[in-house]
């Protein structure tokens, strides 16, 4: 083979390695194996650059894929009311349902308040007004203690309610309460 052909072949070979990552970055990095998501795990309408695909995937994904945004109080109330209606609770069961629903809504309020507090705390840290580490640890302990107490209250009220349910009601409660409480248990 002539020397200039060796140089040309080497150039093509090396440039193919240099261009492939650029091509993947331009088209979202999915390489056609993205399963119809537009490449890189993006929704079909998102046409941003593909360079941040891996970083966004690691931030957005939970153990079961993309995590949905936190449930709003109105959504939670609606789901609780719908489940209560579908369970067709007897009067004795309805008296036990009320404390359960109140405790679930109280936990949602605490989590919302905690999110707002953490946002304002991060804003203060960005402005150079970071609290000392002892206060941060104490705040984290208080938050965890409050969360634990709320979960224990929910557990106690749900046990009392569950014991009064009929087998068909238990089946429905098992199927729907897990999905209802999952966003709250994630915190």
Q: What is the pLDDT of residues 73-111, one digit of tens each?
A: 899 999 999 999 999 999 999 999 999 999 999 999 888
DSSP assignments along the chain, one per residue: --HHHHHHHHHHHHHHHHHHHHHHHHTTT-TT-S-SSSSTT--TT----GGGHHHHHHHHEETTEEPPPPPPHHHHHHHHHHHHHHHT--HHHHHHHHHHHHHHHHHHHHHHHHHHHHHHHHHHHHTT-PPPHHHHHHHHHHHHHHHHHHHHHHHHHHHHHHHH--HHHHHHHHHHHHHHHHHHHH-
With beta carbons less than 8 A apart as the criterion, state whether 187 and 62 touch. no
Using the predicted structure, report yes or no on whether residue 157 has a pLDDT greater than 70: yes
| Sign for the pseudo-dihedral over CA of 62, 66, 68, 69 | positive
What pTM did the predictor assign? Answer: 0.57
- Give the pLDDT confidence score for residue 124 in this predicted structure: 57
What the block records as the tokens of 3 is 């020397």
Q: Scanning the structure block, which residue is given the tokens 């349910």?
A: 165
- Give the pLDDT confidence score for residue 68 in this predicted structure: 54
- Give the pLDDT confidence score for residue 136 in this predicted structure: 83
Poorest-pLDDT segment among 11-20, 130-139, 142-151, 159-168: 11-20
Q: How does pLDDT run across 2-52, given as a tens digit for each residue?
A: 666 666 666 655 655 555 544 444 444 444 444 444 444 444 555 444 444
Residues ≥6 apart with Cβ < 8 Å to 32: 39
Poorest-pLDDT segment among 49-58, 73-82, 149-158: 49-58
Q: Report the C-alpha gap between 23 and 29 in whole angstroms.
A: 8
With beta carbons less than 8 A apart as the criterion, state whether 45 and 19 touch. no
**Mean pLDDT to the nearest integer, 44-61:** 45
Q: Report the C-alpha gap between 176 and 161 in whole angstroms.
A: 15
């Amino acid at each position: 083979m002539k020397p200039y052909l060796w140089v040309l072949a080497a150039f093509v070979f090396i440039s193919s390695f240099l261009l492939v990552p650029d091509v993947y970055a331009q088209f979202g990095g999915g390489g056609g194996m993205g399963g119809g998501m537009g490449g890189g795990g993006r929704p079909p309408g998102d046409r941003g650059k593909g360079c941040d695909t891996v970083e966004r995937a690691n931030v957005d994904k939970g153990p079961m894929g993309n995590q949905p945004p936190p449930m709003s109080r109105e959504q939670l109330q609606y789901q609780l009311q719908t489940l209560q209606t579908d369970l067709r609770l007897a009067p004795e069961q309805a008296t036990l349902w009320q404390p359960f629903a109140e405790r679930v809504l109280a936990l949602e309020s605490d989590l919302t308040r905690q999110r707002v507090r953490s946002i304002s705390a991060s804003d203060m840290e960005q402005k150079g007004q970071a609290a000392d580490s002892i206060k941060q640890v104490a705040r984290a302990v208080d938050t965890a203690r409050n969360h634990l107490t709320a979960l224990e209250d929910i557990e106690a009220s749900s046990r009392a309610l569950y014991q009064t349910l009929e087998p068909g009601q238990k089946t429905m409660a098992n199927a729907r309460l897990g999905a209802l409480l999952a966003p709250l248990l994630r915190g």
